[in-house]
Amino acid sequence: MLVNFERINVYMSLLQEKQIEQIAEQFDIRGEIVAVERFGSGHINDTYRVVVQSSTPESYLLQRINHHIFKDVDGLMNNIFLVTDHLKKVLEGEVDEVDKHTLTIVPTRDQKLYYLSDEGEYWRVFVLLDNTKSYDIVETTKQAFSGGQAFGRFQKQLATLDATNLVEVLPNFHNIDFRLDNLRKAILSDKGGRVGSVSDILAYIFARENKMRRILVLADSGQLPLRITHNDTKFNNVLLDQEDNVQCVIDLDTVMPGYVAYDFGDAIRTIINSAAEDEKDVANITLNVPLFQAYAEGYLSEAEGFLTDMEIDSLMYGVLLLPYMQAVRFLTDYLEGDIYYKIQYPEHNLVRTNAQLKLVNELEKHESLLTDILNKSLAQH
């Protein structure tokens, strides 16, 4: 299902459009801007495509950064600059057109990485990588393999960048203790008056608390190295070319120090799911095992050389943890009255929670099968 990066038909008044065009004009964009239109399917930032006159070779992506979530915009943009700059250096000599394989920040006319408007909003521009595809739901093993290669290569390329140069943009982002504490706080304050209606879900979540702490336990005892990870490895954050080969990893907002199993698990969360992240009918949520195998093979073909044995063992923990953590996050937002994720209807966060927990359930049932597949993929290398 090719959904993302098509024009999303959201109404924009002419006034809004004019204002956003004026913002776009603050940036070092080549060519005359003729329009801006809504773009993409992110839950956090607002994204627009900047249409420039047809003779201009590049297209652009304008984003309003959600600074209620990303409070340190300066640190965030500096991270993205360091990461893309490093990737470009690594890619030199490896590929012909470096700028097609990594994001490029377009600075403001006064050479800043972002623009702060009079209204106190933060904006940035990237070169839009045309002629690429991204998928919300994976369709073929070739796509899954490419996705695995993309994130494996991304981690490998960043292994030579000093992690201490990056700020932790969202502290504790994938720390399950932190996420469960937030859920407990949301239960206590019950702002949305919804706690009574989700007691079964809460029981299911808290029954798995200890099992889901396995990565933290390993990390706290120094058994897992801290690396630079992407931290939002949804499959639609990989751009593929027309033949479904890897082209570029996008959405670098959460690139920061982390553990490899988090990236592996978050990717599998979307890849192995036969349905959407917010599927309403949980009966439709089943595991697509061949896609899991293809992603694992693609990932290990790039990453095996630098992973420790313990990191390899931790990958399966990440597979169970990430959908679980995502359910905890969606449910917390539901109980807090939907203040974090964009929603399309009132129960959206609850639907998302149930969909993720159904996935956890399926993954638990097939844990040994998936572990065997991982081990077989390893044996091939």
The residues of the shown chain that bind Mg ion, judged by CB under 5 A, are: 232, 251
Contact pattern for ligand GN1 over residues 205 through 234, marking x by CB under 6 A: ---------------------------x-x
Q: Is residue 63 a contact point for ligand GN1 (CB under 6 A)? A: no
Closest to 323 in 3D by CA, of 256, 264, 381, 369: 264
In the complex, what is the shortest distance from the CB of residue 131 to ligand GN1, in angstroms, rounded to a whole number? 22
Q: How far, in Å, CA of 322 to CA of 264, rounded? A: 9
Cα(335)–Cα(341) distance, integer angstroms? 12
Tell me which stretch binds ligand GN1 (CB under 6 A): 16-24, 40-48, 212-220, 357-365.
Answer: 40-48
Q: Is 44 in the site for ligand GN1 (CB under 6 A)?
A: yes
Backbone phi, psi, residue 162, to 5°: -70, 115
Does 43 interact with ligand GN1 (rule: CB under 6 A)? yes
Distance CA 195, CA 206 (A): 14
Site for ligand GN1 in 130-189 (CB under 6 A): none
The residue among 26 and 326 lying less far from ligand GN1, judged by its C-beta, is: 326
- CB-closest chain residue to Mg ion: 232
Partner interacting with residue 277 (select from ligand GN1, Mg ion, none; CB below 5-8 Å by kind):
ligand GN1
Place of tokens 């702490």: 213
CA-to-CA dists, residue 179 to 24, 188, 197, 353, angstroms? 36, 14, 20, 14
Should residue 278 be labelled a site residue for ligand GN1 when binding is judged by CB under 6 A? no
Q: Which is nearer to Mg ion, 239 or 370 (CB)?
A: 239
Residue among 138, 155, 92, 157 at smallest CA distance from 244 = 138
At position 344, the amino acid (one-letter code) is Q
Nearer to ligand GN1, 91 or 135 (CB): 135
Residue 88 CB-density burial (10 A; 0-12 exposed, 13-18 middle, 19+ buried):
middle
Contact range with ligand GN1 by CB under 6 A, out of 19-27, 42-50, 85-93, 200-208: 42-50
103, 252 Cβ separation under 8 angstroms = yes
Under the binding rule (CB under 6 A), the answer on residue 46 touching ligand GN1 is no
Provide, rounded to whole angstroms, the least separation between the CB of residue 202 and ligand GN1. Answer: 20
* Closer residue to Mg ion in complex, CB, 251/336: 251
Cα dist from 158 to 226, 266, 324, whole Å:
12, 18, 27
CA gap 294, 145 in Å, rounded = 5
Asked if 271 contacts 147 with a C-beta cutoff of 8 angstroms, the reply is: yes
Closest to Mg ion by CB, 3 or 202: 3
CA distance 178 to 198: 20
- Entry field: residues in the chain: 381
Among 91, 248, 251, 323, binds ligand GN1 (CB under 6 A): 251
The residue range among 176-184, 187-195, 250-258, 355-363 that interacts with ligand GN1, by the rule CB under 6 A, is: 250-258
Please spell the DSSP secondary structure of 362-373, one letter per residue: HHHHTHHHHHHH
Task: Tell me which of ligand GN1, Mg ion, none is bound by residue 234, counting a contact when its beta carbon lies within the kind-specific cut-off of 5 to 8 angstroms.
Answer: ligand GN1
Q: Is 326 near ligand GN1 (CB under 6 A)?
A: yes
Interface residue with ligand GN1, options 48, 124, 249, 277 (CB under 6 A): 277
In the complex, residue closest to ligand GN1 by CB: 43
Contact positions vs ligand GN1 (CB under 6 A): 42-44, 69, 232, 234, 251, 253-254, 277, 326
